[in-house]
Structure 1
């Protein structure tokens, strides 16, 4: 494929410019026409699909209402049955070891059940199930042993009197062994509920005896009830309707060559979430429109499947029309392209020549502006672009020169600190040789401070490195102002790796020493406290100096103030971390000053040089 594309590109490159322009116009006209045609076809398909979806959905909704009405009637009949006073009287008088009485009771209970269910043609059988006898309909001979182990009986018992809807199951699960049912009535769905221990009569509550077993009312409903509702309801050829349980099993139709379960299907998962709606899906390689609605009574889903190709069968004529339109536009585009290409070729040739000259470095090339409005604008912009390119090249060259000069200056600056470090080390050894420990410590603190400030060009550093520098600074200042002030440092060790602005505490401490303690001869104290408050870091520098009034506090944050270092730290914090962070000052004249710093907690990463 790549070989053929390369060959096609080569052939096109060998064509005259006029031929290329002709082909371009052909594509320019035909491609949008084809795209519009396809878009029109797809839009029409979408409209048809939306209308069909709405219509099919209304049918499914109506069918579900009919089914819900029938099932509500059945549900009301079960409520009437379990409220029957005579039924409770019979159950209370039941002797499970008297077979003759059980037969007589069966006849009477059957009459009671028929009273509520015999007229409902959807019901196959109605039974009252116990561990010792199965009362009710003779349509099936129920086995007590099978009943007690069946899911139908267990689910009803677990519901504790609530109505349970059971998807289609084979009656062979509960009938006596060897009994054969008609195939047309071998699959059912069921409604079951346990008869409670209380009932109402004449406004009073009556209780069933404690020793009486609570029977299960089981109503077997023909699955054909669904088929009778769905018959001929869908007007599209090949469409069909299913009823599915909440776990995706097909309840109706029971005899089908289709998939037995849709539990893992995307459309079914969508239906469980939406409860009602439609979607497009593919089943067994066939694209289908699925419209679904959930029953109010059972929670089961009714889904209508409509073949997608049957919905758009009438769009074949539209495809033919789109094809003829494309051919016509192609012929028209050839004619228009041939006429326009000749008119456009001459100005474009000028543009190509000028572009070639610029490509070989002749940036002084200019194209004479023609009277034609479009090309006049194009040539003017081309000339302006050329001038801009020439200007950018000059500026770039000058920037490169300045960068080289800066590199040379930086190398020169690195030589002087190197000489200074060697000199300080020599003085340090001389001081140690003379047992001048205080002088040695001063020199080591100064050397550490110089190395940190000169070699560390980072804007942000870990707190442990900044505190190392600060302790050297405090040693020098304590020696200089000996006896005037002391320092207490209480910083949470977990902040050692915290990211902080370089030298952020020094201007504040310097302000306390020089300005706060200027009237003191002794007794000054600086407290430096740092702690972590979840996502933010807090530092407080507090002194017991002379303090400040409100005007001094406002002026200290101005650039024109003599305390410019503090305002600079505040600006750096805001630039690095955001406007919501920075410095706040609390001070009282004659009491002292407290400076509070806050910014976000971020662990320092050695690979990060800048924020």
Structure 2
């Protein structure tokens, strides 16, 4: 079990260099990047909130201007009742003088409002108009006659604009109402055409780069847009809903993050809408973004330089010392490392390591010398003890061989040395 634990410990252990790199990544670089991301996210949300509140405030002002314009044109249309024009139109027979008076009253109404291009009245199959007339507008109004009459005298803004080449080649909007007699019987219709500039002026305070303004009719048609190509089209963006009276949110439109601000009119039920690409908010922050980028680059370079210096002055010497200790552990006793490092603590480690290896080597050599001398001494003692015995035994063997062979001369020669060696032993 102990061996298995040791195996896993060694298997999953990492080097000092890798420890250092991981610490820098997770404790310095990653927090730095996280702080930058959080700062950008907070700035993004704060900027969207500031601009969202700004746009909603402007849309409320726009709504008030349009409501004022709505009331103004509604009151202008009521002038036909106040100056008895409707009573004249209700007569069974209208004289030329009556028609002339009606034209005069209509001209006065048109002249009183610079945004009004024309005014038409259709009654008893006859049409009388003041200002500039346009056939396409007449056809458009006729296609909505039933809708106008169904409102029973209430003012209605028709849901589309019509391009009129005269004057100045601009888009015109139709404000219509049915004309009813005192008995509430329909006697005809009246409609006025107003210039697109009425909406341009209302949205004049919104001058942000890239902003596109809209007015959506309750039917879903684009009644007005600063982008003329969107006029009279159905407005639909998936997932976009206007649940409150005013509000704003961010939405990806055609692959670009946009801020959408809106306000609903309580009079006309129109939806005033502004769509602004979020990137335009940060166009003025370009110097700040460049400064942050430069600081981030400097920070990364300094961290890299710090890692290089630590690797050179700390990691590399420690690894060198580790390799030297491994070689020493394998039996290479006469190893030494250069003591040339500028870091005082690291250099001290090398000095002590070299001193330790030198002393260990000297101690081992001393032990070997002492052991060798001891062995030599014992050998000499054994040799000194072994020589008399060897000679004595040899002479004794020769003597007995002489006795066996009955050689008395040899026997007599070996007797005297044999006795002397016996006494020595």
TM range, normalised to the smaller chain?
0.5 to 0.7
Structure 2, unaligned runs of 5 or more: 1-10, 319-425
Aligned partner of 2:179 in structure 1 is 195
* Closer/same/farther in 2, CA of residues 248 and 286 from structure 1, 3 Å limit: farther
The match for 2:155 among 163, 179, 190 is: 163
The yes-or-no answer on 1:311 pairing with 2:270 is: no
* Closer/same/farther in 2, CA of residues 37 and 72 from structure 1, 3 Å limit: same
Aligned partner of 2:202 in structure 1 is 229
The match for 1:264 among 236, 248, 259 is: 236
1:159-197 deviation per Cα after TM superposition (whole angstroms, max 9, x unaligned): 1222211133337xxxxxxxx852745632222111233
Relative to its length, the structure with more helix (as a share) is: 2
Displacement, 1:89? Answer: 2.7
Displacement, 1:334? Answer: 8.1
Q: Size of the alignment, in residue pairs?
A: 302
Does the residue aligned with 1:93 lie in a helix, a strand or coil? coil
* Closer/same/farther in 2, CA of residues 42 and 124 from structure 1, 3 Å limit: same
Displacement, 1:132? Answer: 0.6
Distance in structure 1 (CA, Å) of the matches to 2:293 and 2:133? 60
After superposition, residues 71-470 of structure 1 pair within 5 angstroms as 71-81=70-80, 83-84=81-82, 86-95=84-93, 101=94, 103-130=96-123, 132-140=125-133, 146=139, 149-151=142-144, 153-170=145-162, 181-182=165-166, 184-185=168-169, 187-198=171-182, 207=183, 213-231=186-204, 233-253=205-225, 256-257=228-229, 261=233, 263-266=235-238, 269-271=240-242, 273-313=243-283, 314=285, 315-317=288-290, 318-328=292-302
Distance in structure 1 (CA, Å) of the matches to 2:227 and 2:19? 65
Distance in structure 1 (CA, Å) of the matches to 2:100 and 2:202? 34
Displacement, 1:216? Answer: 1.2
Does the residue aligned with 2:228 lie in a helix, a strand or coil? coil
Distance in structure 1 (CA, Å) of the matches to 2:272 and 2:42? 28
Q: Which has the higher relative contact order, 1 or 2, with Cα contacts under 8 A spaced 6 or more apart?
A: 2
Displacement, 1:143? Answer: 9.7
Deviates more, 1:256-265 or 1:235-244: 256-265
* Closer/same/farther in 2, CA of residues 17 and 45 from structure 1, 3 Å limit: same
The question of whether the paired residues in 1 share the 8 Å contact of 2:262 and 2:273 is answered with yes
* Closer/same/farther in 2, CA of residues 143 and 278 from structure 1, 3 Å limit: closer
The question of whether the paired residues in 2 share the 8 Å contact of 1:247 and 1:263 is answered with no
Q: TM-score, normalised by structure 2?
A: 0.60
* Closer/same/farther in 2, CA of residues 134 and 123 from structure 1, 3 Å limit: same
Distance in structure 2 (CA, Å) of the matches to 1:145 and 1:58? 37
> RMSD between aligned alpha carbons?
3.7
The question of whether the paired residues in 2 share the 8 Å contact of 1:30 and 1:330 is answered with no
* Closer/same/farther in 2, CA of residues 320 and 126 from structure 1, 3 Å limit: same
* Closer/same/farther in 2, CA of residues 155 and 319 from structure 1, 3 Å limit: farther
Does the residue aligned with 1:137 lie in a helix, a strand or coil? strand
1:121-146 deviation per Cα after TM superposition (whole angstroms, max 9, x unaligned): 11111222235111332521669994
Structure 1, unaligned runs of 5 or more: 1-12, 96-100, 172-179, 199-206, 343-611
* Closer/same/farther in 2, CA of residues 327 and 259 from structure 1, 3 Å limit: farther
